[in-house]
Amino acid sequence: MGEIRPLIFKDHRNREIWIRSAEPEDAKGVIRYTKDQQDRFEYMISRSWEVNLDVKYEKEYIEAHTQGQNAVMILALHGERVVGLTNFIGGMKQRISHDGEVGISVASDYQGAGIGRCMMEAFLSWASENPTLKRVTLHVMGNNLRAIALYRSLGFVVEGRRRGAVVFETGRVEDLIMMGLILEKGRDLIERNGKKGTDAKES
């Protein structure tokens, strides 16, 4: 099931943060958080006017995560406010079901306080116990150096670069970096077939 063990921790600014799986009742808070991030956070791909977020749909989306084995949505909450979100969906086809993509964001006024690391560690703990998963993939903008450093510290390595993949409204262009993590339980299978977990050379 797509649920983590909930935990409460004090962030670097001594705020009590609750990390837990999303529930259908969180739909309104998730929508409010997502719209705010899409409008204010430069590393989001989609913008608020491009996505029609509906409470009924969001409830169904969250419910599918909680009931499915190969998906999970994790929230960071300060009081009742959603201040961080991690979303993972595994591959839908049998041959790629052992992999999936994770995305993470933290509200701008809560960044740099250890919340992103705590959510990622909770996610990776869940992933390591998921019988299907062998590896995890993510994409990050090339200029998001803090996020890249976090992912590297958790064991992710660079596997590719999509040059000029993101074009901002101002004409600014950024690359998308693809990073991957082979889970401990997947190393024998993947490395036995010559697929080592080392950073791809970038030119």
Q: Which residues contact 192 (CB under 8 A, 6 or more apart)?
A: none
Residue 188 lies in a domain: yes
Range of the domain at 144: 134-203
29 & 91 share domain: yes
Asked if pLDDT for residue 196 goes beyond 70, the answer is no
Helix (H, G, I), strand (E, B) or coil at 183: coil
CB distance 156 to 179 below 8 Å: yes
**What value does the mean pLDDT take over residues 181-202?**
71
Mean pLDDT of 95-124: 95
Residues 157 and 95 in one domain: no
**Could you tell me which residues are beta bridge partners of residue 17?**
9
Task: Give the residue-averaged pLDDT of 85-105.
Answer: 94
The tokens describing 26, both together, are 């969180």
Whether residue 44 is predicted with pLDDT greater than 90 in this model: the reply is no
Q: What are phi and psi of 66, to 5 degrees?
A: -70, -30
The answer as to whether 116 is a domain residue is no
Give the β-pairing of 135-141 and 71-78.
unpaired
Does the pLDDT at position 119 exceed 90? Answer: yes
